[in-house]
Amino acid sequence: MGRLRVGIVGYGNLGRGVEMAIRQNPDVELVCILTRRQPASVSSAVEVAHVSDAAKYQGKVDVMILCGGSATDLPEQGPQFASLFNTVDSFDTHAKIPDYFAQVDAAAKQSGHASVISTGWDPGLFSLNRLLADSVLPEGKEYTFWGKGVSQGHSDAIRRVKGVKNGIQYTIPHESAVSKVRAGENPELSTRDKHLRECFIVAEEGADRAAIEREIKTMPNYFSDYETVVHFIDEQEMQRNHSAMPHGGLVFRSGKTGESSTQIIEFGLKLDSNPEFTASVLVAYARAIARYAAEGFKGAKTVFDIPFAYLSAKSGDQLRSEML
């Protein structure tokens, strides 16, 4: 196999992350970037074209990496691109995955392409660990903690509070809850037991800070049932310390075997950049789906259907001698 030729569809944070990830994978080559903006407005070392011109890259691109959002972009682009190319995406609306899978699968089967949906880390690597742990420890309890990371929905909510100029919200796992799970105590924990919410606020001049804090902490659904911490900072500090997109989390399975042995499987991510990490996962799965396409597979797969050997540029011999 020569170098894997990929295209990027959608050039936001995720698309730029994919461009950077490709530089770390010498067996992968970026051929083009497709955007909904004016192509001339995007500066890149590779060809930039409008998404509506996608078809002209057939035969020039082995896999299209779809970097649009799950709310409106992917439900349309997923099936559409699967009828022209092999694709990989990080569709992450958990509840809609079965429908989305069916649509991409149908489009890919009809056009004779291969697609892998919902890669990334949740869904994606977290799902893989949930399935592995569930298969190995059928009697057990699963715990997922998210963060420390920015919740877009909660950040939007605090920015709507009167007197708030700018704001960001981090979801943070409660150390005490994590410790209980790690200790094998199998606690009953709701999402709110597992997480605390930390807000950084830039207040408008003269705003009533006590009122802002009260309104945030009592906001139904978003904050009222959580332990919430509010910090007031200035705009400079906001730009300096809160522009990154960190995220991560923990997936546990706490199981029992034999008479009463406690067995704990833990998987964790600590990410300085959520989009760059998701992009790195997309590139590894692009390699995998290209191999399935080369073998003649037609249709859609998920991360559950793909052995890890397909993700690596290394040969089976190499993997067995170096990594097993």
Question: Of 25 and 186, which CB lies nearer to its own copies in the complex structure?
Answer: 25
Nearer residue to its own copies within complex by CB, 1 or 131: 131
Q: In the structure encoding, which two tokens stand for residue 121, read together?
A: 């880390």
Q: CB–CB of 60/6 below 8 Å?
A: no
Is 303 a residue that touches its own copies (CB under 8 A)? yes
Among positions 8-47, residues that touch its own copies (CB under 8 A) are 17, 20-21, 24-25
One symbol per residue from 177 to 206: x for binding its own copies (CB under 8 A), - otherwise; what is it? -----x-x----------------------
Q: Shortest CA distance to 83 belongs to which of 49, 52, 113?
A: 113
CB of 185 to its own copies, least distance (A): 12
Neighbour-count burial of 189, counting CB atoms closer than 10 A to its CB (0-12 exposed, 13-18 middle, 19+ buried): middle
91, 124 contact by CB (below 8 A): no
Q: Which of 30, 104, 201, 281 binds its own copies (CB under 8 A)?
A: 281
Residue 320, token pair as written in the block: 């067995």
Q: Does 134 bind its own copies (CB under 8 A)?
A: yes
Q: Figure out which of the listed residues 70, 90, 118, 151 binds its own copies, where binding follows CB under 8 A.
A: 118
- Residues in contact with its own copies, counted by CB under 8 A, come to a total of 68
Q: Dihedral of CA 203/206/212/213: which sign?
A: positive
**How far, in Å, are 114, 155, 237, 252, 314 from residue 89 at the CA level?**
12, 25, 34, 25, 23
* Contact indicator for 31, 46 with CB cutoff of 8 Å: yes
Cβ atoms of 15 and 64 within 8 Å: the answer is: no
Least gap, CB of 137 to its own copies (angstroms):
6
CB of 15 to its own copies, least distance (A): 13
DSSP symbol at 297: -
Give the binding range for its own copies (CB under 8 A) out of 46-54, 73-81, 206-214, 301-309. Answer: 301-309
Count of other CB atoms within 10 angstroms of residue 23: 9
Could you tell me which stretch among 162-170, 187-195, 222-230, 270-278 binds its own copies (CB under 8 A)? 270-278
Binding status of residue 317 toward its own copies by CB under 8 A = yes
98 binding its own copies? (CB under 8 A): yes
User: Is residue 265 close enough to count as binding its own copies by CB under 8 A?
Assistant: yes
Q: Which of 203, 300 has the CB closer to its own copies?
A: 300
For residues 127 and 228, which CB has a smaller minimum distance to its own copies in the complex?
127
Q: Where are the alpha helices (H) located in 183-273, listed in sequence order?
A: 191-194, 209-217, 235-241
**Residue 163 binds its own copies (CB under 8 A):** no
- Contacts made by residues 263-267, CB under 8 angstroms, sequence distance 24+: 263/137, 263/140, 264/181, 264/182, 264/184, 265/129, 265/132, 265/133, 265/136, 265/137, 266/182, 267/125, 267/126, 267/129, 267/133
User: For binding to its own copies (CB under 8 A), which residues are involved?
Assistant: 17, 20-21, 24-25, 94, 97-98, 101, 118, 123, 125, 127-132, 134-139, 182, 184, 244, 248, 257-259, 261-273, 276-277, 279-281, 284, 287, 302-309, 311-312, 316-317, 319-321, 323-324
